[in-house]
Structure 1
Amino acid sequence: MKASYNALLITVMSTLLAHTTYAQTCNSQIKKVVPDTRYQIIEGSNGSEVKDIKTGLIWQRCSVGQMWANNQCYGTPQSYTWSEALQKTKALGNGYRLPNVKELQTLVEEACVSPAINETIFPTTAINDYWSSSPKTSDNRYAWSVNFEEGTVNSASIYYKTAKKFNVRAVRNSN
């Protein structure tokens, strides 16, 4: 009886910890590199898409797996292996795809952490790694990701590329 209680307690605690939300911290001494004014809401998207005026890219405001409603992202961002992420974003249609590492880096807000992104434009972004479509040039067994806890760029190993699941944000080119 005690063993099943302990197993239940561990399951409950793990679930609570996995869904812990963090308050974003920003340094007012650092000028924001991705302010709200850099983005334009796409007409006809109900606010679910924004255009980055600097790059011309159109981003989904929610992570894949979440739903946009009432100016907010609802639900839990889903995690995918690298190949699943490539397939999932393409399956969204409308020209959506997995961003390359340089494109994904343009979302990093250097003045903030937990998450290191503009939370007004991209609410409830997970403070996890997000896949890019970029394999590492020197060894294509690796793929690049961006971690939005601190905005760091990481190279995930083949183990991670094929087995580890990261979050995904979809992008498309403007028409």
Structure 2
Amino acid sequence: MLFTCEKSRLCVLVCTAVVVGSLFIASKAWAECLLRDDSRFNLLDNSAVVEDANTGLHWQRCLVGYRLNTEGDSCALSVNGAVRFDWRGAFTAASNAAGWRLPNVKELESLVDRNCFEPAVQTHIFPTIDDVMMGAHWTSSQIEGYAGGAWTVNFKTGSVISSDKSELLPVRLVRDAQQ
């Protein structure tokens, strides 16, 4: 339903309240994200890997093609690294990292934090520096009945979406805790 304001004080007040309320909700979600309990994640391997206590999985903190800085608080582009892959390339990137694999959709979605807002992930655990890190990420899960598509997790919104396998998207690798 659309309406227009024609210099009505009431209309201006209502419109202002809606905008301010939206900003408050967004900032509240962001603040809650920053104040989350860190007991779920344990940093390993000089902080380049994080163990998820909820799932027992180990995750690379940075995407393929990025590396953790010496302070352990942000990811930087690798000199020779590609950062986006088609779906087949995502599997190749995973196979080039000994002991690591492409996560399935449920595993990758488990990293989404619904209390976080753009991105929907704990950024002090999984640092984001650009839109590549905030968008859709490949999973190993194909879309049943559609050979040309696979499931992806969008870390900007926290949603699971379908993507064409030819799209160029980033990859976050996972391994089982026993390794």
Where on the TM-score scale, by shorter chain, does this alignment land: which range?
A: 0.7 to 0.9
1:168 aligned residue (151, 156, 171): 171
CA distance in structure 2 between the partners assigned to 1:165 and 1:35 by the alignment? 34
Residue 119 (structure 1) aligned with residue 123 (structure 2): yes
Normalising by structure 2, report the TM-score.
0.73
Would you say 1:144 and 2:148 are equivalent positions?
Answer: no
Structure 1: gaps spanning 5 or more residues: 1-23
Q: Which runs of 5+ in 2 are unaligned?
A: 1-25
Contact 2:137–2:170 (8 Å) recurs in 1: yes
Q: Is contact 1:142–1:161 with CA below 8 Å preserved after alignment?
A: yes
Q: Residues 1-175 of structure 1 correspond to what in structure 2 (within 5 A)?
A: 27=29, 35-42=37-44, 45-69=45-69, 70-71=71-72, 72-75=74-77, 78-93=83-98, 95-124=99-128, 126-156=133-163, 160-162=164-166, 164-175=167-178
In structure 2, relative to structure 1, the CA distance for the partners of 1:26 and 1:120 (3 Å cut) is: farther
Q: Check conservation: 1:50, 1:61, Cα contact below 8 A.
A: yes
**TM-score between the two structures when normalised by the length of structure 1:** 0.75
Deviations 1:105-140 (A, max 9, x none): 000010112111001100116221100000012323
Structure 1 or 2, whichever has the larger Rg, is 2
Paired residue type of 2:111? L
Runs (4+) of structure 1 moved beyond 6 Å?
28-32
Q: When you count helix as a share of all residues, which structure comes out higher?
A: 2
RMSD of Structure 2 on Structure 1 (CA) = 2.3
